[in-house]
């Protein structure tokens, strides 16, 4: 499964680590004693592992030694019209990187081993229940969060970080409201082999009426596929034989079956107007490289939906990643938002620790929440809007989005703003 990343910000290991040695215990199995942990991260996926690593410090170096791909350009276009939008930097610098999920996981696991003096990883363990502390009390109740594991052992911690995905057990146990709905779509992911080796530094995405299909470069000959479509179609795609699958992918990118004359002429009209006003940049539609075959057993599917937690934090609790927000992959921002959460939370925890503060104190946790909710809500809303806009082939909406896309494409400063926001 590939994850699209615009830019990973936590590049080099941070210098002066002005924090106390944190024992971050990531839950995946194990036992413990009477110690009180500074932080416990519940959930060992991409974001959970990254948080544990970040609390221990630095993993980018490992990724660089494995497979990843920088991309320079991104083309996004509509199946129902000629409209397209092209993102690139003026001097054709790298816009970002595509890194596969398992590559990141591997790097993080390696890094966790390196910081094992500060971070304890419990593999194959499951949290059964959580006990929250009272707001403030003189009674003999413990002020820490208690996590009961499957094997009966109990972990005590000053701060629990919930990174356990969109069905977060931590969030449910805390009783935090979650606004969510399911899209009638599932995403199919696969690793594809291209017909011929090419420079492969462009990311492609086409909006079909059934959902967007995206091709992301991984190497000169490999690309990653993310195809969001209806549940039935997705199930079909995953179970059909490889040749038919490859054909389906190619035709999804190349076929103009969804074009209508009306929209085409309306589109060209605006195109002339734009060319008249701003004759400098002409984005001619290019075609993505054709696909030859698919990696055996690399096809998987997962359902899509939107989710947003009403609160990201409670006393001694913070939610990060999909536990806090779940988004459609059409903009490739899901994991990125998670990494953004990590970066922000880390920054606030660092300052708090350097001020000798109790890590579970609401004052800095609310600052993290405000920080991220502002950013994430905007992105979530925009992604949801785009998804709905592009899920139809009704003429008025197609016209709207065609003109909208063409207009946005013509306004470079706007595109730069979009790229900057996605790279945060």
Partner 1 sequence: MWGGRKLSSSGSRFLGAHRSPFRGTQADCPRLTTSAAYSKNQLSWTLQIKPSVFSEYRSMCFKSYSMTFACLNRMKSYSLPWTRPYSTSRTTVDSSEVKTFLALAHRWWDEQGVYAPLHSMNDLRVPFIRDNLLKTVADHQPGKPLSGMKILDVGCGGGLLTEPLGRLGASVIGIDPVDENIKTAQHHKSFDPVLDKRIEYRACSLEKIVEETAETFDAVVASEVVEHVIDLEMFIQCCCQVLKPGGSLFITTINKTQLSYALGIVFSEQIAGIVPKGTHTWEKFVSPEKLESILESNGLSVQTVAGMLYNPFSGYWHWSKNTSLNYAAHAVKSSIQEHPAPAEFALKEETEEVRIETSTNSGVHEELKK
Applying CB under 8 A, which residues contact partner 1? 16-21, 34-36, 135-136, 138, 142-144, 353-358, 361-363
The residue behind tokens 């785009």 is 386
* Structure token pair of residue 287: 């075609």
Q: Which is nearer to partner 1, 265 or 355 (CB)?
A: 355
Quote the least distance from Cβ 186 to partner 1, whole Å: 45
Separation between Cα atoms, residue 154 and residue 127, nearest integer Å: 9
DSSP 329: G
Quote the least distance from Cβ 354 to partner 1, whole Å: 8
The SS3 of residue 198 is coil
Residues across the chain: 424
Q: Which is nearer to partner 1, 130 or 207 (CB)?
A: 130
Q: Which is nearer to partner 1, 35 or 412 (CB)?
A: 35
Q: Which is nearer to partner 1, 156 or 221 (CB)?
A: 156
For residue 58, count other CB atoms closer than 10 A to its CB. Answer: 17
Q: Nearest CA to 192 among 227, 228, 234?
A: 227
Quote the least distance from Cβ 362 to partner 1, whole Å: 7
Q: Which is nearer to partner 1, 20 or 303 (CB)?
A: 20
Q: Indicate left, alpha or beta for 297 from its phi (over 0: left) and psi (-120 to 50: alpha).
A: left
* Structure token pair of residue 175: 């009783």
Do 162 and 204 meet the contact criterion of CB atoms below 8 Å apart?
no
Separation between Cα atoms, residue 339 and residue 9, nearest integer Å: 8
Quote the least distance from Cβ 17 to partner 1, whole Å: 5
Separation between Cα atoms, residue 156 and residue 142, nearest integer Å: 9
Quote the least distance from Cβ 359 to partner 1, whole Å: 9
Q: Nearest CA to 313 among 359, 257, 351, 271?
A: 359
Quote the least distance from Cβ 274 to partner 1, whole Å: 47
DSSP 323: G
Q: List, in order, residues 6 or more apart from 277 with CB less than 8 Å away.
A: 410
**DSSP labels for 223-273?**
EEEEEEEEHHHHHHHHHS-HHHHHHHHHHHHH--TT--HHHHHHHHHHHHH
Quote the least distance from Cβ 348 to partner 1, whole Å: 13
Quote the least distance from Cβ 330 to partner 1, whole Å: 39
- Distances in Å between the Cα of 64 and the Cα atoms of 7, 100, 214 are 13, 12, 24
Quote the least distance from Cβ 363 to partner 1, whole Å: 7
Quote the least distance from Cβ 60 to partner 1, whole Å: 21
The residue behind tokens 């946790």 is 365
Do 133 and 108 meet the contact criterion of CB atoms below 8 Å apart?
no
- Distances in Å between the Cα of 11 and the Cα atoms of 153, 327, 409 are 36, 24, 30
Separation between Cα atoms, residue 45 and residue 321, nearest integer Å: 10
């Amino acid at each position: 499964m590939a994850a699209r990343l615009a830019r990973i910000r936590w590049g080099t290991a941070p210098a002066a680590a002005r924090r106390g040695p944190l024992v971050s215990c990531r839950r995946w199995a194990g036992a413990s004693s009477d110690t009180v942990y500074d932080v416990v991260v519940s959930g060992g996926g991409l974001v959970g592992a990254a948080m544990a690593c970040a609390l221990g410090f630095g993993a980018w170096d490992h990724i660089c030694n494995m497979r990843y791909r920088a991309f320079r350009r991104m083309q996004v276009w509509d199946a129902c019209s000629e409209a397209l939008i092209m993102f690139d930097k003026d001097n054709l610098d790298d816009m970002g990187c595509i890194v596969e999920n398992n590559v990141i996981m591997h790097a993080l696991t390696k890094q966790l081993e390196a910081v094992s003096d500060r971070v304890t990883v419990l593999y194959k363990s499951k949290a059964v229940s959580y006990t929250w502390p009272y707001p403030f009390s003189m009674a003999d109740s413990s002020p820490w969060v208690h996590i009961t594991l499957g094997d009966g052992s109990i972990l005590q911690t000053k701060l629990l970080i919930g990174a356990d995905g969109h069905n977060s057990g931590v969030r449910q146990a805390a009783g935090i409201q979650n606004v969510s709905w399911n899209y009638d779509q599932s995403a199919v992911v696969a690793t594809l082999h291209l017909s011929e080796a090419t420079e492969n530094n462009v990311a492609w995405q086409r909006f079909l009426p059934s959902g967007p299909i995206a091709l992301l470069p991984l190497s000169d000959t490999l690309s990653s596929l993310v195809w969001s479509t209806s549940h039935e179609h997705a199930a079909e795609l995953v179970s059909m034989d490889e040749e038919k699958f490859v054909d389906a992918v190619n035709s999804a990118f190349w076929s103009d079956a969804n074009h209508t004359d009306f929209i085409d002429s309306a589109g060209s009209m605006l195109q002339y107007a734009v060319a008249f006003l701003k004759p400098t940049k002409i984005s001619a539609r290019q075609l993505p490289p054709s696909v030859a075959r698919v990696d055996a057993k690399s096809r998987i599917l997962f359902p899509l939906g939107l989710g947003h937690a009403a609160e990201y934090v409670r006393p001694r609790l913070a939610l990060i990643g999909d536990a806090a927000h779940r988004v459609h992959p059409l903009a490739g921002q899901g994991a990125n938002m998670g990494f953004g959460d990590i970066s922000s939370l880390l920054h606030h925890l660092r300052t708090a620790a350097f001020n000798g503060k109790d890590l579970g104190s609401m004052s800095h946790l609310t600052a993290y929440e405000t920080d991220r909710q502002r950013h994430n809500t905007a992105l979530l809303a925009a992604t949801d809007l785009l998804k709905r806009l592009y899920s139809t082939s009704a003429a008025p909406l197609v016209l709207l989005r065609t003109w909208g896309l063409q207009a946005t494409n013509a306004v470079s400063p706007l595109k730069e703003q979009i790229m900057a926001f996605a790279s945060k």
